Amino acid sequence: MTSNEARATALVRALRAGVERDRRALSALLTEDVRAWTPALSTASRAELLDELDRRDDAFSDIELDVAPLDVSGDHACVEWTVRMRQTGTIALAEDRRVEPSGIQVTLRGVTVAEFEGERITSLRQYWDEFSVLEQLGLLSGE
Protein backbone atom coordinates (compact mmCIF):
# COMPACT_ATOMS: atom_id res chain seq x y z
CA MET A 1 0.00 0.00 0.00
CA THR A 2 1.28 3.43 -0.95
CA SER A 3 1.39 6.09 1.75
CA ASN A 4 -0.37 9.43 1.49
CA GLU A 5 3.00 11.19 1.61
CA ALA A 6 4.24 9.08 -1.32
CA ARG A 7 1.13 9.99 -3.33
CA ALA A 8 1.55 13.71 -2.64
CA THR A 9 5.22 13.45 -3.65
CA ALA A 10 4.33 11.55 -6.83
CA LEU A 11 1.77 14.19 -7.84
CA VAL A 12 4.27 17.01 -7.27
CA ARG A 13 6.86 15.09 -9.34
CA ALA A 14 4.30 14.60 -12.13
CA LEU A 15 3.50 18.32 -12.24
CA ARG A 16 7.19 19.22 -12.37
CA ALA A 17 7.79 16.62 -15.11
CA GLY A 18 4.94 18.14 -17.12
CA VAL A 19 6.36 21.66 -16.84
CA GLU A 20 9.84 20.38 -17.73
CA ARG A 21 8.46 18.14 -20.54
CA ASP A 22 10.22 15.16 -19.00
CA ARG A 23 8.45 12.32 -20.83
CA ARG A 24 10.39 9.57 -19.06
CA ALA A 25 9.65 10.81 -15.55
CA LEU A 26 6.00 11.43 -16.40
CA SER A 27 5.62 7.98 -17.99
CA ALA A 28 6.91 6.34 -14.82
CA LEU A 29 4.29 8.16 -12.72
CA LEU A 30 1.20 7.50 -14.87
CA THR A 31 -0.81 4.39 -15.64
CA GLU A 32 -1.09 3.47 -19.31
CA ASP A 33 -4.81 4.30 -19.28
CA VAL A 34 -4.51 7.57 -17.33
CA ARG A 35 -7.29 10.05 -18.06
CA ALA A 36 -6.49 13.75 -17.92
CA TRP A 37 -8.64 16.86 -18.14
CA THR A 38 -7.68 20.53 -18.04
CA PRO A 39 -9.36 23.65 -19.43
CA ALA A 40 -7.06 23.23 -22.45
CA LEU A 41 -7.21 19.46 -23.15
CA SER A 42 -8.77 16.09 -22.48
CA THR A 43 -6.92 12.80 -22.94
CA ALA A 44 -7.75 9.13 -22.36
CA SER A 45 -4.30 7.51 -22.21
CA ARG A 46 -0.69 8.11 -21.27
CA ALA A 47 0.26 8.15 -24.97
CA GLU A 48 -2.31 10.89 -25.71
CA LEU A 49 -1.17 12.95 -22.73
CA LEU A 50 2.49 12.69 -23.73
CA ASP A 51 1.58 13.63 -27.33
CA GLU A 52 -0.20 16.74 -26.04
CA LEU A 53 2.88 17.60 -24.00
CA ASP A 54 4.96 17.43 -27.19
CA ARG A 55 2.50 19.69 -29.04
CA ARG A 56 2.62 22.42 -26.40
CA ASP A 57 3.99 25.59 -27.92
CA ASP A 58 6.97 27.56 -26.67
CA ALA A 59 5.08 30.79 -25.97
CA PHE A 60 6.29 30.88 -22.37
CA SER A 61 9.72 30.46 -20.83
CA ASP A 62 11.41 31.05 -17.46
CA ILE A 63 8.70 28.82 -15.96
CA GLU A 64 8.69 28.54 -12.17
CA LEU A 65 6.36 26.13 -10.38
CA ASP A 66 5.45 26.31 -6.69
CA VAL A 67 3.34 23.44 -5.35
CA ALA A 68 1.64 22.95 -1.99
CA PRO A 69 -0.17 19.68 -1.18
CA LEU A 70 -3.66 20.43 0.14
CA ASP A 71 -5.09 17.03 0.92
CA VAL A 72 -4.15 13.43 0.43
CA SER A 73 -6.64 10.76 1.39
CA GLY A 74 -7.14 7.19 0.27
CA ASP A 75 -6.49 6.96 -3.47
CA HIS A 76 -6.61 10.74 -4.05
CA ALA A 77 -4.21 13.65 -3.78
CA CYS A 78 -4.89 17.35 -4.30
CA VAL A 79 -2.34 20.13 -4.68
CA GLU A 80 -2.57 23.86 -5.19
CA TRP A 81 0.04 25.39 -7.49
CA THR A 82 1.33 28.68 -8.83
CA VAL A 83 3.16 29.01 -12.15
CA ARG A 84 5.13 32.13 -13.02
CA MET A 85 6.25 32.42 -16.63
CA ARG A 86 7.34 34.98 -19.19
CA GLN A 87 5.73 35.31 -22.62
CA THR A 88 8.75 35.06 -24.92
CA GLY A 89 7.15 33.31 -27.88
CA THR A 90 4.16 33.80 -30.15
CA ILE A 91 0.73 32.71 -28.88
CA ALA A 92 -1.74 31.45 -31.48
CA LEU A 93 -5.23 32.32 -30.23
CA ALA A 94 -6.98 31.42 -33.48
CA GLU A 95 -5.96 30.73 -37.07
CA ASP A 96 -5.95 34.43 -37.85
CA ARG A 97 -4.95 35.89 -34.45
CA ARG A 98 -1.47 35.74 -33.00
CA VAL A 99 0.05 37.50 -30.03
CA GLU A 100 3.68 38.42 -30.53
CA PRO A 101 6.17 38.02 -27.64
CA SER A 102 5.74 40.73 -25.01
CA GLY A 103 8.22 39.71 -22.32
CA ILE A 104 5.43 40.12 -19.76
CA GLN A 105 5.59 37.84 -16.72
CA VAL A 106 2.27 36.21 -15.87
CA THR A 107 1.16 34.25 -12.85
CA LEU A 108 -1.32 31.39 -13.04
CA ARG A 109 -2.83 29.71 -9.99
CA GLY A 110 -4.65 26.41 -10.01
CA VAL A 111 -5.45 23.10 -8.42
CA THR A 112 -4.73 19.54 -9.53
CA VAL A 113 -6.64 16.53 -8.27
CA ALA A 114 -5.20 13.07 -8.92
CA GLU A 115 -6.53 9.59 -8.39
CA PHE A 116 -4.06 6.76 -7.85
CA GLU A 117 -4.00 3.09 -8.67
CA GLY A 118 -1.27 1.73 -6.44
CA GLU A 119 1.77 4.00 -6.86
CA ARG A 120 0.73 5.49 -10.22
CA ILE A 121 -1.65 8.23 -11.21
CA THR A 122 -4.70 6.95 -13.07
CA SER A 123 -6.66 10.21 -13.33
CA LEU A 124 -5.70 13.91 -13.36
CA ARG A 125 -7.94 16.95 -13.29
CA GLN A 126 -6.56 20.48 -13.32
CA TYR A 127 -8.52 23.65 -12.74
CA TRP A 128 -7.39 27.21 -13.48
CA ASP A 129 -8.70 30.43 -14.97
CA GLU A 130 -7.47 30.62 -18.57
CA PHE A 131 -8.73 34.18 -18.89
CA SER A 132 -6.40 35.40 -16.13
CA VAL A 133 -3.41 34.87 -18.46
CA LEU A 134 -5.13 36.81 -21.24
CA GLU A 135 -5.93 39.62 -18.79
CA GLN A 136 -2.34 39.80 -17.57
CA LEU A 137 -1.14 40.00 -21.18
CA GLY A 138 -3.53 42.92 -21.77
CA LEU A 139 -5.67 41.00 -24.25
CA LEU A 140 -8.98 41.37 -22.40
CA SER A 141 -10.59 44.61 -21.45
CA GLY A 142 -12.00 45.09 -17.97
CA GLU A 143 -15.50 45.53 -19.39
On the 0-12 / 13-18 / 19+ scale of CB atoms within 10 A, 74 is: exposed
Q: What integer pLDDT is reported at residue 1 of this predicted model? A: 46
Let me know if residue 82 belongs to a domain. yes
CA–CA gap between residue 102 and residue 122 (Å, rounded) = 37
What CATH number is attached to the domain comprising 76? 3.10.450.50
CA–CA gap between residue 141 and residue 12 (Å, rounded) = 34
- When divided into structural domains, the chain yields a total of 1
| pLDDT tens by residue, 78-115 | 999 999 999 999 988 777 888 899 999 999 999 999 99
| pLDDT tens by residue, 49-68 | 999 888 877 899 999 999 98
pTM of the shown model: 0.87
Q: What integer pLDDT is reported at residue 72 of this predicted model? A: 75
pLDDT for 17 beyond 90? yes
| pLDDT class of 139 with cuts at 50, 70, 90 | confident
Let me know if residue 141 belongs to a domain. no
- Asked whether 79 and 69 are in contact (CB, 8 A), the reply is yes
Q: Where are the beta strands (DSSP E) in the chain?
A: 30-38, 41-43, 60-73, 76-87, 91-94, 97-99, 105-117, 120-128
Let me know if residue 65 belongs to a domain. yes
Nearest in space to 34 (alpha carbons), one of 128, 111, 114, 127: 114
Let me know if residue 104 belongs to a domain. yes
Q: Which domain holds residue 124?
A: 4-136
